[in-house]
Chains A and B, each alone.
Chain A
């Protein structure tokens, strides 16, 4: 894994905007093609294999939580657990997830699994693929996301309720909308009849106990780019279990277990000293150097890195009221002051590609940059 400094394409902003990538910059570029990472094939093979192994372990960990009803550890409210177990036992469709991996000195470690509402999918699947076409189309890339997403949506056709597939996200985030519309694009190409509706326009018809869209059309399948824990907190949350249509939510409610940072200590308990895992516990007893992470959090918020019991780095945010987990410190590799984390994607049950985000610090947050990659 090497970082290379290069000259961006002329007028790159226009080039990526033509792809539908509208959030390429904030104060500074988020999409950053002044550099790229190169990998050897054996390195990519190792990342792909690690992703497969970690996914199998993660699924076993979900089964463990359900078998032993460890919902309290994850702060999942009791009223939703029958819905979770039902979605798990019925094998309700799960489309995707993104594992954040640290790759350093030949070692791969799972930092966390964004299994419910991962973003950066569009830039990983589309923007960096077109970048490579311009930069050097003879080179390969660990990125079959687009093909696999279409293929998996196609596979899911008979498993959804026999009506439209709705897609939703909040209306204040262009990033969320882009990712959601990209997934809908793939679903359309797979043969689904789809309809987009924003979260705040979803209605609840109390007389019939069903969710409806802005046209009063019943919602029976819905992909939502909106965290399950927020759904549960919202005013309509408890209507999910009263819903007479038993709407299929994608990602399904069992993903609440997998996207919870509490899955990390459970994985460590089930697979102690596994080379792909970092030691993780629900308390910091016995740790000298560790990352303190909220059970529920996003975009690197409320994380603190402790080295030899001294604070190394810390981020602010609104998370942490549900409690924290503690994970052995394994700092990101330093490439001349740039610290990359690998987002390794799962589509269906398989590894499907990766995207790299890097920051100037050890915690990857919402100000990090997306850097394209290629295989030498």
Chain B
């Protein structure tokens, strides 16, 4: 027998609608007055952490601190387990340096 015994797909039928489809703007994006919440919603993986010595609290975003080369305390912002590690750490400067659109142009005959 030279054919596959059985075939199961877990992904393919659901994914194809994304091809070059215009993204439907959210209420927030099209200015229809959707609300913006500062705190994460119930899907965020809240973590237990000590905060201000006041006992155990649950936080979606935890304060992030470090010490600079002079040993001085520096507050860096907040971290969250809900987003990739690389998005938690690093300065805004370095994140801002990521440029996009440098791949894909040759397919349009630009190469």
Contact surface of A with B, Cβ cutoff 8 Å: 18-20, 22, 44, 48, 122, 125-126, 129-130, 132, 140-147, 170-174, 177-178, 181-182, 184-185, 188-189, 196, 198-208, 212, 214-218, 226-227, 229-231, 233-236, 239, 318, 353, 375
A181 to B16, Cβ gap below 8 A?
A: yes
A142 to B94, Cβ gap below 8 A?
A: no
A205 to B10, Cβ gap below 8 A?
A: no
Q: State how many angstroms separate the Cβ of B64 from the closest Cβ of chain A.
A: 16
| Cα A73 to Cα B10 with chains together (Å) | 43
Is B19's CB within 8 Å of the partner chain A?
Answer: yes
A185 to B9, Cβ gap below 8 A?
A: yes
B86 to A172, Cβ gap below 8 A?
A: no
| Cα A172 to Cα B1 with chains together (Å) | 38
Is B97's CB within 8 Å of the partner chain A?
Answer: yes
Q: Which of B98, B105, B107 touches A204 (beta carbons < 8 Å)?
A: B98
Whether A141 contacts B84 in the complex (CB less than 8 A), given A181-B12, A196-B15, A204-B102, comes out as: no
Q: Which residue of A lies closest to B87 (CB)?
A: A216
Enumerate the 6 nearest inter-chain pairs by beta-carbon distance, A residue then B residue, closest first: A236-B102, A233-B111, A230-B106, A199-B104, A235-B102, A203-B98
Q: Which of B2, B9, B102 touches A375 (beta carbons < 8 Å)?
A: B2
B104 to A200, Cβ gap below 8 A?
A: yes
Q: Which of A143, A199, A239 touches B3 (beta carbons < 8 Å)?
A: A143
A132 to B13, Cβ gap below 8 A?
A: no
Residues of B within 8 A of A218 (CB): 86
Q: Which residue of A lies closest to B5 (CB)?
A: A147
A129 to B106, Cβ gap below 8 A?
A: no
For the residues of A in contact with B, the DSSP-based class is mixed
Q: Which of A177, A205, A215, A226 touches B107 (beta carbons < 8 Å)?
A: A226
A129 to B105, Cβ gap below 8 A?
A: no
Contact surface of B with A, Cβ cutoff 8 Å: 1-5, 7-13, 15-16, 18-20, 83-84, 86-87, 90, 93-95, 97-107, 109, 111
Residues of A within 8 A of B107 (CB): 170, 172-173, 199, 226, 230
A129 to B98, Cβ gap below 8 A?
A: no
Q: State how many angstroms separate the Cβ of B2 from the closest Cβ of chain A.
A: 5
B104 to A126, Cβ gap below 8 A?
A: no
A217 to B87, Cβ gap below 8 A?
A: yes
21 contacts between A and B (CB under 8 A): A126-B7, A143-B3, A171-B19, A172-B20, A174-B20, A177-B18, A178-B12, A181-B11, A185-B12, A196-B15, A202-B100, A202-B103, A202-B104, A205-B94, A205-B98, A208-B90, A218-B86, A227-B106, A231-B103, A231-B106, A233-B106
| Cα A142 to Cα B1 with chains together (Å) | 8
Q: Which of A126, A130, A185 touches B11 (beta carbons < 8 Å)?
A: A185
Whether A129 contacts B111 in the complex (CB less than 8 A), given A174-B19, A185-B10, A234-B104, comes out as: no
A22 to B2, Cβ gap below 8 A?
A: no
Q: Which of B4, B11, B90, B103 touches A236 (beta carbons < 8 Å)?
A: B103
Q: Which of B2, B105, B111 touches A143 (beta carbons < 8 Å)?
A: B2
B97 to A207, Cβ gap below 8 A?
A: yes
A130 to B2, Cβ gap below 8 A?
A: no
| Cα A239 to Cα B99 with chains together (Å) | 12
B4 to A146, Cβ gap below 8 A?
A: yes
B19 to A199, Cβ gap below 8 A?
A: no
Q: State how many angstroms separate the Cβ of A367 from the closest Cβ of chain B.
A: 19
A234 to B2, Cβ gap below 8 A?
A: no
Q: State how many angstroms separate the Cβ of B34 from the closest Cβ of chain A.
A: 22
B7 to A146, Cβ gap below 8 A?
A: yes
Which of B9, B18, B84 gathers the greatest number of chain A CB atoms within 10 Å? B9
Residues of A within 8 A of B16 (CB): 20, 22, 174, 177-178, 181
Residues of B within 8 A of A212 (CB): 86, 98
Residues of B within 8 A of A236 (CB): 102-103
| Cα A17 to Cα B100 with chains together (Å) | 33
Q: Which residue of B lies closest to A168 (CB)?
A: B103
A18 to B13, Cβ gap below 8 A?
A: yes
Q: State how many angstroms separate the Cβ of B90 from the closest Cβ of chain A.
A: 8
